[in-house]
Structure 1
Amino acid sequence: MESFEKVLQVNPGHVDARINLSGLQQKIGQSDRALETLQDYDLDTCTHLPDERLLIRQADVLFDSHKTEQFVRCCRMLLTPHFYEVHRNQETIGRRRSSKTGFFLSSTLRIAAMNAITNTNWEKFVRRLGAAAFNERRSVDDIDPALLHDYCLKLIECLLSAERFQDMLVVCCYAFLQPRINRSEKSSTFQNLLYFVAIKAQCWSVAFEYVRWYHMLTNTAHQLTLPNSREVLFRRIFNAMNYVFVHSQNVCYHRYIMRALSKAPGNPALQAISGNNSLITGTYRHALGEYLRVWNQDKNNPLICLLLALTFIHMSCKKDLSSRHMIGIRIINEYLKSSWKTRN
């Protein structure tokens, strides 16, 4: 202990000496002094992790004191050995797996979550210090899954308040993939947070895979999901899909919608989404056909009238046909009439 104290007198910023000293103080029962040794120092450059009990105490103190930035750093070190388990079990991520709710989790959703982690600063940090903790044979069973869940959730809340959305997504993906949390009763928390954090971080691949999984779930086991009617669930799912497609376009999105339409022909929401995708990508004739099918089912819908008008205007601008200009203007008038009736 004296040697480490002398090192810190000469160089107070020596991170490893500080961690080693705090570990020795913890072993001889000087918990408060051990906590003071680590307090207010950036330990990110260390080569091994401090004692887990010290990190837990420090994290609780920092969270209660509303010291967000320091709590994030401390909690990241605390969770690193547990997040490293995700990388150690990476080969099982693509396998079909069921949650505690009895639903099978999408393997593509799990792979998308893993891809969101890859090549981030968090992954580099977790791999570096997680491997060191594993080589030291540090136990990952001392923290029970419920407490592990709570620290992950607190960390996500702090990152959200700091508007660090990319970091928030990585933490949520780690927690979603963490084996011990997956086997616990609280496995659904981070699964349900995935869409929200993906939208905040603008990670559209994760957002799409979540919506696709939920759409499949509602089709096959809707009676076991949320206590809403099937129509309400589908309305929310299609709105979520549209939000993703407005911000991101991918050929696999279009293929999925076409496959869904083949299974549910005549579904107006899917037809409108298919039309939207075609309108964005410039396939105006296909968009026009999809919108007309919806319009034939509900001719007083002002939104479909607006979309039809936009399609005709796009076609007229592309082909320079004056007749389609007039058609576009006429349908704009239909939209205005329908919109006025709806307001009244």
Structure 2
Amino acid sequence: MKLLLSVFIVIFSASSHAYNQQALMEAYFGVVMIRGYNEDGGMAYGSGVVVADHTVVTNCHVLRATKQPWVSRGEDAYPITSVRADVWHDLCLVTSPTLPLKPVVRGNSYALTRGQEISAIGHSNGVPAPITSIGEIQGLYSTPSGNMIRSSAKFLMGASGSGLFDMDGKLVGINTFKTAGYGRSIHFALPVEWLETLEKMPASTEFPVRGKALWEEDEDKKPYYMQAAVPESRQDWANMEKISAIWTQNETSNADAWFSLGLAEQSLKQFDAAATAYQKAVSLDGQFVEAWFRRGEVAQRLGDDKTVKDIELQLQKIDPLLVSVYQNYLSCEQNCQKQ
């Protein structure tokens, strides 16, 4: 069901927001491949983004198994001579003195909004040319410097370290980790602002780069949004409900926590409880479109026609175009084959 709702909202986003084709093309040419031989002779590879002259950001876990990595663009190779590594945050800044490529334009993760259309560009599956995946911002999680980003823009193995761009071609995040699920992974990108600290760190010539990243922490030590993402992707609704309930208790003013609880309860057919959770989410964030849609869907299940209509008025205030999308979604909720 969540997949179907995402499709409706992406269609709305694509039809109502423009994108800068030239800027996105320039962003595309700022994405490169990071390659190197493993100790056993196999090939290690990932993605990177040119963020300054002769400088590429990638994930440190891309550099764990190779002593002599290089930057690759098509058939061209450029040696990497040094690295600035923030292993815990899984960001590495590599220097390649002969790299001739133009840096991308940096954006601002604080300026992002839930539901905003974005583009992931990287070398998924190690293909020579970058692959572009369009999606939307599904969640923004505050850190001391920048927002961790959850998006529906897919990336696969080989795209770790790739770029997440807004539709003006500005780099807003570094695609880093995802959950594994039943055909539906959840994708996370690190905020572009973390580069500012990384650029001030000392350079090293030591490879490989090893150490545990924050997303590899024990489950019970991770932030709640990471903990809840795993059972969500596996459709383990009972466990997701348990984690989300604790999340709401500890972060009572977090709309994402209440939405997560509502989604779990709705999936468990606990519709009254789900209605309460979704209502709390929209009371905390009146622009939370997916929560409004879900609240309306549950209201329809409960025969609460007044709430269904009241939500139309709320969506009208956000964007009049959303009303017809909402109506079509509820109609599909009754008549379409859900995914």
TM-score by length of 2: 0.34
| Higher-strand-fraction structure | 2
| Higher-helix-fraction structure | 1
- Name which structure has the greater RCO, CA cutoff 8 Å, separation 6+: 2
TM-score by length of 1: 0.33
